[in-house]
Structure 1
Amino acid sequence: MTRTGRVVIIGAGPGDPGLITARGLRALGEADVVVYDRNVERLLRFAPPHAERIAAGAPAERDTAQDAISMLLAEKAREGSIVARLKWGDPFVFDSGAKEAMFLYEQRIPFEIVPGVPAAVATPAYAGVPVTYPGAGDAFVLLRGQEHPADPVPPIAWTALAGLEGTITSFVTGAAASTVLQQLLDHGTPPDTPAAFITDGTLPTQHTLTGSIATMIASVAAVDSGPGLLVVGKAAGLREHLRWFDDRPLFGRRIVVTRSPEQAPELADALEALGAQAVQAPTLRIVPPEDPEAIDRAAAAVADYDWVVFGSAGAATRFLTALTRGPLDLRALGRVRICAVGPSTADRLASAGIRPDATAAETGVEHVLEALAPFGRLDGQRVLVVRPDVLRDMLAGALARVGADVSELIAYQTEPVPPDAPTVQELYRELLDGRIDAVTFTSPSALRRFAAMIGEEQAADLLNTTTVVTIGPVTAAAARELGIDAPIVPDRYTVAGLVQALVATLGRSRSGRD
């Protein structure tokens, strides 16, 4: 029986991936095809890995392009696919979502609408500007601005608009914002009325310009960074009291995360929560091991071991997933002692409800043996070492030399990102231009791969132009061997400790407001 396809038109919000609604996130996670506006690309990480991804251009395309998008949605749905149409802001607020839905209705294609957080509300909130406030008027006006930078400002009854008591918002270029302010001034709006112009709203690159409409006419005209949200009204004057988003300690900092796409979110999310822009530059790609069924066999026999040593957080995640998808569950670990290599691995186990018996401070063999020492001799003990292929196999040999019966399991394999990859070339240019505030490394292997990726000869020179933060002493030693002058080492060798070290080094204080 042929599956009936459908289209879900999802409002993604104004930029911050965290502003998509729970219903929108669920619908995106069920999609077979994702047709997305280019400025919501950050949300593609929440789509299923198998989903086809199709870029649809700007949020509101010209008529010809818009017709092509509507036909594409219908075509994919007729093929039986669940199509997520991911749109910037809210699809029914000055957007083409209603036009696409009307086309689907005429074509008898099932569809649904998932509202999004409108940019006209969320962007001012991220700038510390409420769109309504007691005593700041009783009207909230969403003024159609420019769906394309070349469009003129739509004709408006300016005298009526200028006479309203309240807040006016409009998504326009800097030049058009200047025109709007001049029209309001010419038609009776008091010249000292507060105004704000916000570009890259809700993103780590957000910038807010404030003043009165009289002073802003010239200043916004000079803004050439693309469209932004213009806010006019008494409430705009509250920004200095209510700003929060751009007041966070790492706001605006561009920090490179070198972990794999699978492992990066823990660090990237922590950085972005403090205002940084996480520049993801994975040095490797994770691929299945040569024997993908080995992990299921080992999980099924886990009760036969005295110890399981997890070499990384990713290895722990894969093993526990294999354990619970088989006939057993976490109770199979009841009599098995657990050793976590590194605090991050311990944290990952703790999030699954498992408290490790031992935690090695870092990845070195000596750290693991030191963590196991309080539990007595390992003579005859059956030990399963679960690790990625990139970790050296010295641990198994060291455990065998002290009498343990050791089995090794490669939970996943990796392959390097090639130096000619577009993301690598772009990162090289950004380092060269001084546009990177810090680069983070969570293992010696990641540092060595990074050097190979951007070029062994120039790696140290480029990294010495910025701040390098390593997760622990072993990684710092590898950095010094490479020629990096002063890598920073956190007090606690975890992702959280690494983030704290970045805040201590690069953090802004409230007195540092711009």
Structure 2
Amino acid sequence: MSTTQNPPAARPATVAFVGAGPGDPGLLTVRGAELIATADTVILDEFTDPDRLTPLVRQGARIVAATAGEHDVELPRAARMRRVIREARATAAQDGRGGLVVRLIDGCPAAFSLLGEELEECRREGLQIEVVPGVPALTAVPTYAGISLTDPSSPAATIWCADHPPAGLSSGLADDVTVLLLGSPSRMADLLEDLSAQGRDPGTPAALIHAGTTTAQHTRVSTLGEVGALLRGEVRQPVMVLVGHTVAARSAGGWFETKPLIGWRVLIPRTKDQADALLGRLAGYGAVGEVVPTISVEPPRSPGAMARAITGLVTGRYEWIGFTSVNAVRAVRERFAELGLDARAFAGLRIAAVGGVTAQALRDWGLEPDLIPSGEQSAHGLLADWPPYDRDLDPINRVLLPRADIATDTLVAGLQGLGWEVEDVTAYRTVRAAPPPAPVREAIKRGSFDAVLFTSSSTVRNLIGIAGKPHPSTVIACIGPATAKTATENGLSVAVVAPEASAEALVDALAEHGRQRAAAAAEAGQAVTRPSARHRRRQGTS
């Protein structure tokens, strides 16, 4: 008797309604970030910044705007819901496994007035549903502006939506109640004028907060009598207004807007996969990093020399191996993986590394460097600490240097001078990348970037080669003296040199430069501005 097995039924897709928070990706919940990282499709809400969320999305996932149609025309609510359903159907049809669509909602889904309708539509389509709360803008934005909603003298707060205000809401409102107002700027202005007309003191402190919790956040402190006029000239959204005595207690600038690099746009000429440490640290200081790859790392044209070097490493041919870059570590590690080797092959071999980033790449592989320069993180710094060959102490006099095809001879010559025999092997090639898009090239030349972080001499030469020189107003920051020398030789004025060759030290040095600029401006009684803003102001007055 034969039996016939029916193919398993296709699983429905899951639609997860995830609160995107108020703007800062760091305020995403852990569950929200997990879903974004595993989603097949991520649908962005109106104020979601795709550039800030893209690093969280897995490779190959689709990123779709929920609110914009062709030619960026705003979609009506019904069309937005149809887009969610369409994406869920397409995801489920790909391989029958169901799939995951994340529908991001600005702030928290609980504050989204049409959430119930969208959930019901998904149920009718037979879709699986999950709802993940988000950090609400109602509390996060005032917190980032340094304003409390209540205090002992103002024990209560009320929230108004200016686009749908209840009749007579402003009448009878006590003067000690903090008012938090959301909605379109013009309607907020109308409601605030009504509040003043109902008897609220026009001198009551008020704050207008634009783009709260993002690096574009800007807070203007005014009064109830004046904030309406500010709103009528405000076309940017999102905007929030607070009215109440708690506004007066706000410390100057707030804790967030006084970060040393707040709002800075920083260019990182580096491959995308090597920029994570820089991007994360920049964000901590309030800056937004923008990666422009200037080189492409490729295998050597002739792999024979590298293969022989790996064989020699395994058979004990070398006393030392010196890594001068993360790319060198990666190249050797990839070759090990191809041959089925692991870090145990380094047993008995002494390891040298230039720079904290290179050392960390080795530690990630399970290897602890025996030698890192105590001073300058460069070939010169490494040579200053490298011990000379001693025939009584060193059983082998040979050093392996897996490096780039364009590496200089400084390290080789220095080691030979110390009595070592050096095998300098090309582990990888650096090829100049294609030029960035025209808008990025124009931004570089016109001074739209506030700073550039150069992490090697090759990034200096290659950026200039594919995009031109950065504008003189742009702050040039270099990871070490050798990179700074190359930048100077190419006509750039270097403002920042990191005390050690690491991503952390480079960004920290730029942040210290930002602090010093802000302190100098404050001492001179001037407003603190970004380098790009000062450049634009000079253009406008010239």
For normalisation by structure 2, the TM-score amounts to 0.78
Which residue, out of 407, 410, 434, partners 1:418?
434
Residue number among 416, 438, 445 corresponding to 2:458 in the alignment: 445
What displacement does 1:130 show? 2.2
Equivalent in the alignment of 2:77: 63
| 8 Å CA contact 1:198, 1:229 repeated in 2 | yes
Q: Is the 8 A contact 1:258 1:282 kept in 2?
A: yes
Identify which of 210, 235, 256 aligns with 2:221: 210
Q: Distance in 2 between matches of 1:392 and 1:91?
A: 57
Contact in 1 for aligned 2:447/2:471 (Cα 8 Å): no
Which deviates further from its counterpart, 91-100 or 282-291?
Answer: 282-291
Pick the aligned partner of 1:154 from 137, 160, 164.
Answer: 164
Equivalent pairs counted in the alignment come to: 497
Which of 180, 194, 200 aligns to 1:169? It is 180
Q: Residues 227 and 485 (structure 1 numbering): CA distance in 2 closer, same or farther, change over 3 Å?
A: closer
Instruction: Provide the C-alpha distance between the structure 2 equivalents of 1:224 and 1:262, rounded to a whole number of angstroms.
Output: 37
- Is 2:377–2:500's contact at 8 Å kept on the other side of the alignment? no
2:492 alignment partner, one of 478, 484, 495: 484
State the structure with more CA Rg: 2
Is structure 2 residue 132 aligned with structure 1 residue 114?
yes
Could you say if the C-alpha distance between residues 94 and 359 of structure 1 is closer, same or farther in structure 2, counting changes exceeding 3 Å? same
Q: 1 CA distance for matches of 2:102 and 2:66?
A: 12
2:17 match: secondary structure:
strand
Contact 2:157 2:180 (C-alpha < 8 Å) held by counterparts: no
Q: Distance in 1 between matches of 2:143 and 2:309?
A: 51
Match of 1:234 in 2: 245
CA contact (8 A) 1:14 1:89 kept: yes
Deviation at residue 414 of structure 1 after TM alignment: 5.6
Written as runs of structure 1 = structure 2, the 5 A alignment for 1:176-215 is 176-215=187-226
Candidates 462, 465, 468, aligned match of 2:473: 465
> 1:390 and 1:65 mapped to 2: Cα distance?
55
In structure 1, how many angstroms separate the alpha carbons of the residues matched to 2:133 and 2:321? 47
Task: Name the CA distance, whole Å, in 2 between partners of 1:5 and 1:397.
Answer: 62
Q: State the shift of 1:244 in Å.
A: 0.5
Preserved contact between residue 399 and residue 420 of structure 2 (Cα < 8 Å): no
2:504 to 472, 477, 496: 496
Distance 1:332 1:192, change over 3 A: farther
Cα 1:249–1:110, aligned 2, differ >3 Å: closer, same or farther?
A: same
Change (3 A) 1:158 1:335: farther
Where does residue 223 of structure 1 map in the other structure? Answer: 234
Matches within 5 A, 1:390-405: 391=407, 404=421
TM-score w.r.t. the length of structure 1 is 0.82
- Match of 2:505, SS state, is helix
Distance 2:119 2:308 in 1: 49
Matched, 1:47 2:54: no
Instruction: Give the CA RMSD over aligned residues.
Output: 3.9
CA distance in 1: counterparts of 2:24 and 2:473, whole angstroms: 30
**Whole-angstrom CA distance in 1 between matches of 2:78 and 2:462:** 46
Aligned residue in 1 for 2:32: 24
Q: AA paired with 2:36?
A: L
- Structure 1 match to 2:101: 83
Is residue 72 from structure 1 mapped to residue 86 from structure 2 by the alignment?
Answer: yes
Segments of 5+ residues of structure 1 without an aligned counterpart are 146-152
Residues 389 and 420 in structure 2, CA contact (< 8 A), matched pair in contact too: no
Residues in 1 aligned to 2:268 and 2:189: alpha-carbon distance in whole angstroms? 39
486 and 392 in structure 1: CA distance in 2 versus 1, 3 angstrom threshold: closer
**Which region of structure 1 is more displaced relative to structure 2, 308-317 or 436-445?**
308-317
Distance 1:88 1:296 in 2: 53
Residue 75 (structure 1) shift: 1.2
| Aligned-partner residue type, residue 464 of structure 2 | A
- Per-residue CA shift, 1:314-344, capped at 9, x if unaligned? 5436766887999776555443322112233
Aligned CA distance change for structure 1 residues 480 and 433 (closer, same or farther; 3 Å): closer
Inter-partner Cα distance in structure 1 for 2:38 and 2:124? 25
Corresponding residue SS for 1:236: helix
Q: CA deviation at 1:295?
A: 10
SS of alignment partner, residue 272 of structure 2: coil
Q: Which runs of 5+ in 2 are unaligned?
A: 1-7, 529-542
Please report how far the alpha carbon of residue 381 of structure 1 lies from its aligned counterpart in structure 2 after TM superposition.
5.2
Deviation at 1:45, TM superposition (A): 0.5
Shift in Å at residue 388 of structure 1? 5.7
Change (3 A) 1:161 1:318: farther
Alignment partner, residue 11 of structure 1? 19
Change in Cα spacing, 1:4 to 1:126, as seen in structure 2 (3 Å) is: same
State whether structure 2 residue 440 is matched by structure 1 residue 427: yes
Q: Say which SS state the counterpart of residue 12 (structure 1) adopts.
A: strand
Contact in 2 for aligned 1:310/1:316 (Cα 8 Å):
yes
Larger deviation: 346-355 or 217-226? 346-355
Give the aligned residue type for 1:101.
Answer: L
Q: Answer whether contact 1:14 1:117 (CA < 8 A) is retained.
A: yes
**Aligned partners of 1:46 and 1:296: how far apart in 2?**
37
- The one-letter code sitting in structure 2 at the alignment partner of 1:446 is T
What residue identity is the alignment partner of 1:234?
H
Amino acid at match of 2:472: N
Query: Residues 177 and 394 from structure 1, CA distance in 2 versus in 1: closer, same or farther, beyond 3 angstroms?
Result: same
User: Residue by residue, what CA displacement relative to the aligned partner does 1:151-190 show, whole Å, maximum 9, x if unpaired?
Assistant: xx33422335761653333333433332221122223433
Distance 1:195 1:279 in 2: 35
- Tell whether the 8 Å contact from 2:445 to 2:471 is kept in structure 1 after alignment: no
1:28 shift after superposition? 1.4
Query: Does the CA-based 8 Å contact 2:401-2:422 persist in structure 1?
Result: no
| SS of structure 2 residue aligned to 1:469 | strand
Structure 1 Cα separation of the partners of residues 204 and 255 of structure 2? 22
Query: Contact 1:311/1:388 (CA < 8 Å) preserved in 2?
Result: no
One-letter amino acid of the structure 1 residue matched with residue 427 of structure 2 = I
The aligned residue for residue 3 of structure 2 is none
User: Which sits farther off after the overlay, 462-471 or 207-216?
Assistant: 462-471
Give the Å deviation of 1:192.
3.0
Alpha-carbon distance between aligned partners in 1 of 2:410 and 2:492, rounded to the nearest angstrom: 26
SS of equivalent residue, structure 2 residue 386:
helix
* C-alpha spacing 1:264/1:291, structure 2 compared with 1 (3 Å): farther
Query: Counterparts of 2:31 and 2:306 in 1: how far apart (Å)?
Result: 34
Structure 2 partner of 1:150? none
What is the CA–CA distance in structure 1 between the aligned matches of 2:488 and 2:510, rounded to whole Å?
19
Aligned mates of 1:3, 1:385 — CA distance in 2: 53
How far apart in 1 are the matches of 2:452 and 2:221? 33
Aligned partner of residue 116 in structure 1, secondary structure: coil
The change in CA–CA distance for 1:385 and 1:179 in structure 2 (over 3 A counts) is: farther
Identity percentage of aligned residues = 30
